[in-house]
Amino acid sequence: MGGFFGTISKSACSTDLFYGTDYNSHLGTRRGGMATYDKEAGFTRSIHNLESSYFRTKFEPALDKFVGNAGIGIISDTDAQPIVINSHLGKFAIVTVAKINNIDELERDLLKANMHFSELSSGKTNQTELVALLITQGNDFVEGIENVFDRIKGSCSMLLLTEDGIIVARDKWGRTPIIIGKKEGAFAATSESSSLPNLDYEIDRFVGPGEILRLRADSIEQMRQPNEQMQVCSFLWVYYGFPVSCYEGRNVEEVRFQSGYKMGKKDEYEVDCVCGIPDSGVGMALGYAEGKGAPYHRAIAKYTPTWPRSFTPANQEMRSLVAKMKLIPNRAMLEGKRILFCDDSIVRGTQLRDNVKILYDYGAKEVHMRIACPPLIYGCPFLGFTSSKSDLELITRRIIKELEGDENKNLDKYATTDSPEYQKMVDIIAERFGLSSLKFNTLETLVEAIGLPKCKVCTHCFDGSSCF
Ligand code: SF4
C-alpha cells in the first residue's frame, strides 16, 4: 500500500520528516524517499531501495542535506518517489499512495497530448509521475487534482510540496486515510496517526474523501470540500494499521479488541488459552480472551530484533520463509493445551499451513483458529493489498473452483455467512490445515467494531459490494 508523511514548520523540518516518514515503514517495502524545499536551496530529493534495508539506515547518514522548513517523505510499495516536476503551476514535489488500474490507457492519452514520461521504474511508467502529469493538465492545483480523481480507476491520495506550502489531497472515495497533526508552529500530514505522538503533534483533523488542503506553518486552507460519500478501507483496521493509529476517529487496537471480544463472547468452544499471531492478531486475541473468559498466553513469539514486519520481500517464496522464521513456537506454553489462535486474515493459506503444523509438532493438543475478518472472496482493485496477479491465489477461490469447476461461480453464496456454500468452504479450509475448529468474523461484527455506517466503509473484498 505505502504510507507518507509531510511537515511544514517555522523551523527546520528534517528531523520530524525523517522520523515521521519512518513511522510509516510497516506500510511498504520497496522504495523510500524524501524531498525538502528551501527558498534559497530549492528542492532536495533522495530515493533509496528498501528491499534489503531499512529507511532509517538509508537516510540517516545524509540527513544534513535536507534543508528547509517543509518536506514530504514516502515509504512506497510501488515506484520510486518523490517526483520533482517543473510546470506551469510552479515547481513541486509529489508523493502518492495509489493503485492505478487504467495506467496504460492514461499513459496513451498523455502521450497523445504531447506529454512525456522521464521516470521509468523497471521499464514501466512511474505512476506518481503519471499523477503529476494529470495534475499539470489543470489550470490550478485543485483542477489538476480533480483531473486525477476523475480519470484514475483505483485510488490515489497524495502530498504535494510546493513553493507555497504542502497540498494534501485524499483519495476521492477516501479508501486510504490522511491525518493532520498540529503543534506550535508546525503542521504535519500522515497516512498513520501513530507518526504523531512522539514528534509532539496532536491530531488536528481527519482529511475527508476528496478533500484538498494547503498546509502552511501557521495555517490550514481548505481548497476543496470533502465528498459526502466515503469508502474507507476496512482492512486498515484488520491488517494494515499500526495499533495506536486512528482513522476517522476510530483506533485500530480498539477495533481489533472489540471485534475479538464480540467473537469470544458468543463462541461455544472450550479452550485452555488464547494467543494472537503477531502482530496484527494480538489485539483481537486480547479481546477474544476477555470475551471468552480464557487466559491469554504467548505460545508463539515474534523474533523482533531482526524481523520487523516491514521487512517483507516481494517474492512469495521468500515471504513464506520470512513468515516462518520470524515466529518461534514455545513448547512450554503449547504442550498438551487446547489453544485458540487469532489472526488477521487468510489470503493464500501458505503461512497458516506452516504455523498449524509447527504448533502440533510442539505439543498442542487442539489448535483452533479465529480470523478477524470474513473470508476474502474478491481481489482488491483499490489498494492491491496482496501482490496477487489473479484471484485464484486466494484460497477461497481455489476451493470454489474445486467445488464448482469455476472460480467465479456463486461467489455471493460463498460470501454469505452460514450459507451451505460458505460453511462447506470453511470446513474444507479447516480440514485442509488440520484445525480443530475455524471461524471467521462476520461482516456485521467487523463493521460494528469499526463503528462507522456500513455505507461509509469499503468491504468489497469480503462481499463484492461497491459504489464506484
Ligand atoms: S477491497 Fe478490501 S482491501 Fe481493498 S479497499 Fe476495499 S476493503 Fe480495503
pLDDT tens digit sequence for 166-177: 999 999 999 999
Residues 269 and 116: their CA atoms lie apart, in Å, by 61
pLDDT at 387: 55
pLDDT at 378: 93
Q: Tally Cβ neighbours within 10 Å of residue 147.
A: 17
DSSP 402-460: HHHSSTTTTHHHHTSTTSHHHHHHHHHHHHHTT-SEEEEPPHHHHHHHHTS-GGGEE-H
Given 3-state DSSP classes, what are the helix, strand and coil percentages for the chain, each rounded to the nearest 5? 35, 25, 40
Element (H, E) at 11: none
458 lines ligand 1 (CB under 6 A): yes
Q: What 3-state class would DSSP assign to 64?
A: helix
Burial class (CB in 10 A: 0-12, 13-18, 19+), 396: buried
pLDDT at 158: 98
234 CA: nearest ligand 1 atom: 7
175 CA: nearest ligand 1 atom: 5
Confidence of residue 256 (pLDDT cuts 50, 70, 90): very high
pLDDT tens-digit readout, 106-117: 999 999 999 988
Least confident stretch, 21-35, 129-143, 209-223, 318-332: 318-332
How many whole angstroms from 385 Cα to the centroid of ligand 1?
A: 7
pLDDT at residue 374 above 70? Answer: yes
Q: Which triple of cell numbers denotes residue 279? A: 502482530
pLDDT at residue 72 above 60? Answer: yes
Residue minimizing CA distance to atom 4 of ligand 1: 380
pTM, two decimals, is 0.94
457 lines ligand 1 (CB under 6 A): no
97 lines ligand 1 (CB under 6 A): no
pLDDT tens-digit readout, 273-318: 999 999 899 999 999 999 999 999 999 998 877 665 544 556 667 7
Q: Which of these, 391, 390, 239, lies nearest to 312 by C-alpha position?
A: 239
pLDDT at 310: 46
How many whole angstroms from 330 Cα to the centroid of ligand 1?
A: 34
